Structure 1
Amino acid sequence: MAEQKVSPGLKLALEIGPIIAFFVGYFLLKDRTFTIGGNEYSGFILATAAFVPLLAATTFALYRLTGHLSKMQIVTLVLVIVFGGLTVWLNDERFFKMKPTMIYLLFGGALGVGLLRGQSYLQLVLEDAMPMKHEGWMILTRRLCAFFLALAVLNEVIWRSMSTEAWVTFKTFGLTAAIFVFFMTQGRLLQTYAIEDEDTSST
């Protein structure tokens, strides 16, 4: 299916909507306990149980609207289903808290493997969207690899040493802000190694 254009606002809403819904749902239910089938579940478990199908639905909607899903979106959905499912099934919130760690380790590790082979897997995925010289892609890939691994460590530190409320806030806003700031700070690199349009450079 060819990739189709979709409103940026709608695309953003589908991508971050489930995360915001999880944040709101947790804070509405965090002080309550629910008995279902003879078992007691915390508000965190119920919020996770709602988040998993909601993310699956919005990811499917994105696919139907755009005709395309990135590898990161697919892997993220799979890990959410696996770790979210384990969280609800075993009634243990630790599995869902480990999910960001697994995601960042996976992507950081994949980029690291490419670097060891002298390749930028990031370039293979994003080259059409951001034309840039190979040297620039290698630098950006090294930085992003280190950044992902740092986020994995940070997530482990936060969920193991702080309250669930602090972790939910960190996951919703901290991780999102960190990724935004990272790419904002790469502007000079993108400009330095950008490949100029042939038509522009020839005039």
Structure 2
Amino acid sequence: MAEQKINPMLKTALELGPVVVFFAAYVWLKDRVFTIGGADYEGFILVTAGFIPLMLISTGLLWKLTGHLSKMQVVTLVLVVVFGGLSVWLNDDRFFKMKPTLIYVLFGGALGFGLLRGESYLQSVMDAALPLTHDGWMILTRRLCGFFFGLAVLNEAIWRTQSTETWVYFKTFGLTAAIFLFFLTQGSVFKKYGTGEDTPET
């Protein structure tokens, strides 16, 4: 089923809104402790508990409005529910902090598996937006595969050695900026191996 077009601002709000709300709620509640059912929960755990249904609602709306969800969106939602749920259930923030690591390992591993088969799985999801030759896709895929594994290692280093507040800032701004900068620095690949908007590689 082809993706239906919706207002770009609405699409962006549905994709990024939950993360923005999570960050704002954490800043508001980070220093508070709540007693529920005889157990003490830090603000981070309560914010995580609220983030799970918010992600479900926003992703559901995105699917309803566009008729399409990418594999990355589906995997991310599943991991948010599973690891966020574990953090809330066990009152342990470590599970939620592991989530980005698993996301990047899974996507890096998927890209790496495709490369071993001589294919670019990245092309199958981005070809319409970035028409490149086969060589261009292979180069970009190799770089993104290594980049994902690098982000996984970095996330592990941050959450295991830094405070929760530092990790939240890193997750909200650092990872987003890193991905943006990665594609920004791939201009030479797009220029050298681009096929032109109307002449995608066959």
Taking structure 1 as the reference length, the TM-score comes to 0.95
Aligned letter for 1:93?
D
Aligned letter for 1:42?
E
Percent identical pairs in the alignment equals: 68
Aligned residue for 2:47? 47
User: Alignment partner of 1:35: what SS?
Assistant: strand
Q: How far apart are the structure 1 equivalents of 2:52 and 2:170? A: 19
Unpaired stretches in structure 1, ≥5 consecutive residues:
none
Q: How far apart are the structure 1 equivalents of 2:198 and 2:78? A: 41
Superposed CA RMSD: 1.2
Post-superposition offset of 1:197 = 5.2
| 1:28-107 aligned within 5 A | 28-107=28-107
User: Alignment partner of 1:119: what SS?
Assistant: coil
Q: How far apart are the structure 1 equivalents of 2:8 and 2:188? A: 25
Aligned residue for 1:157? 157
Post-superposition offset of 1:50 = 0.4
Q: How far apart are the structure 2 equivalents of 1:182 and 1:107? A: 15
Aligned letter for 2:83?
F
Post-superposition offset of 1:196 = 2.8
Q: How far apart are the structure 1 equivalents of 2:3 and 2:110? A: 25
Unpaired stretches in structure 2, ≥5 consecutive residues:
none
| 1:179-194 aligned within 5 A | 179-194=179-194
Change (3 A) 1:120 1:100: same
Q: How far apart are the structure 2 equivalents of 1:145 and 1:22? A: 28
Aligned residue-pair number: 199
Aligned residue for 1:117? 117
User: Alignment partner of 2:129: what SS?
Assistant: coil
* 2:131/2:197 contact within 8 Å kept: no
Aligned residue for 2:177? 177
Aligned residue for 2:148? 148
Q: How far apart are the structure 2 equivalents of 1:43 and 1:170? A: 18
Q: How far apart are the structure 1 equivalents of 2:191 and 2:36? A: 56
Post-superposition offset of 1:123 = 1.1
